[in-house]
Amino acid sequence: METQHDHSQHLCVVSSPLMLRPMTENDLGTVIEIEHAAYPFPWTMGMFRDCLRIGYCCRVLEESKRGGDLVGYGIISIGGGEAQLLNLCIRKERRNQGIARRLLADLIDTAKERDADSMFLEVRPSNHAARELYQHMGFNEVGIRPAYYPVKKGGKKGSEDALILALAL
């Protein structure tokens, strides 16, 4: 892994004030709506509930105005000196505004506060926007998980490898 990366430079001003807070059961309906709009193979309600029950670090970003609409969420697990980014998603109409950078920077800071010295994640090679974000935030490719993600190709089920990325904290 490379040397530590200063994430403060990645914070940005977005068009309206956003508030970061812990995810709750009450958020899950909207979280599922965002998840299903973003991914062809989305997480289930049970997966999100399990993350909350287990005590993973689950965060949501919401508008501090406009009725508190959720714009995105992120989930990390932390243990044994490592953090794993499990899910990071921004509402489609709010992408490309620096919101994912802000959320990821907060999750990285949280991992550091909880004594993690590295963060890992898996990403689809075909997810160019996410790969660009992670590279910008200092993540480096450290491996590949063959046939990790499900895909549909011409009506047939297949798979796509996952790139394993790591960040020294």
- By annotation, the residues acting in catalysis are 122, 134
With residues binned 3-state (H G I as helix, E B as strand, rest as coil), the percentages for the chain, rounded to 5, are 35, 40, 30
Q: Give kind and range of the element (H or E) at residue 130.
A: helix 128-136
* Cα 87 to chain centroid, rounded: 4
Instruction: Give how far Cα 64 sits from Cα of 15, 29, 35, 71, 110, Å.
Output: 12, 19, 21, 11, 21
Sign of the four-CA dihedral 139, 132, 7, 111: negative
User: Which amino acid is it at 12?
Assistant: C
Positions of E strands within 2-139: 18-22, 57-63, 70-79, 82-90, 118-123
